[in-house]
Structure 1
């Protein structure tokens, strides 16, 4: 577990209301979801990284990612390794800032996982059926 970055964390906001973010004082988390057609679970680990100079914003850094199997349109990247039922890999592209999570009422919501416990993102920030913005913040 990384050391705590006081005052830094993750913000979640509905794209329709970006000026009303929900602040979560967490520096490491996993974002998980189930593919709507193939019913295959995906997990991506993220870390909040402190700014390198004063006045700058913190950033999200992509960590390990996992896909529980593969199917059409869900091919693991070439650097993925099969391990205990999962394709595991290190993303080569860092996340966009902010991450734009499409949340539909027709599919299961994203799961927010910390310290081995997962819960529906709806418990943190209810969806409006559109896009949720996720970004590192202070």
Structure 2
């Protein structure tokens, strides 16, 4: 199993079954991260992390603070895909694999919107 970024007809294999999506909150400018894993029944949100709180991004009561982030496992069933919207008004999404993060715009056209994280066919 592997994950891909899809932008229109373009499919970019990420060569990983687990990736982290990272971005800065548009109001608070605080880093947010989500780790997604491909499984036979769909994409699973393994962990969510946020560096701070405010503007609708407060961590839930079960979150623990470790390595500078509030961390928790969201209660969300498997999804077929994750849609990444790119307005241009904020920094681009980042895709992290094996500890290295790159802007989505280095993998797909800078103006591609939406971009989808999906299992590769």
TM-score strictly above 0.5: yes
Matched, 1:76 2:69: no
TM-score normalized with structure 2 length: 0.88
How many pairs were matched up? 121
TM-score normalized with structure 1 length: 0.78
Matched, 1:116 2:102: no
Once superposed, what is the RMSD of the aligned Cα atoms? 1.7
Q: Structure 2: where are the runs of 5+ without partners?
A: none
Counterparts of 1:1-138 in structure 2, within 5 Å, are 8-14=1-7, 17=8, 19-49=9-39, 51=40, 59-94=42-77, 96-128=79-111, 130-138=113-121
User: Shift in Å at residue 109 of structure 1?
Assistant: 0.5
Q: Structure 1: where are the runs of 5+ without partners?
A: 1-7, 52-57
Whose radius of gyration is greater, 1 or 2?
A: 1
User: Shift in Å at residue 102 of structure 1?
Assistant: 0.7
Contact map agreement 2:51 2:70 (CA 8 A) in 1: yes
User: Shift in Å at residue 59 of structure 1?
Assistant: 2.2
User: Shift in Å at residue 128 of structure 1?
Assistant: 2.4
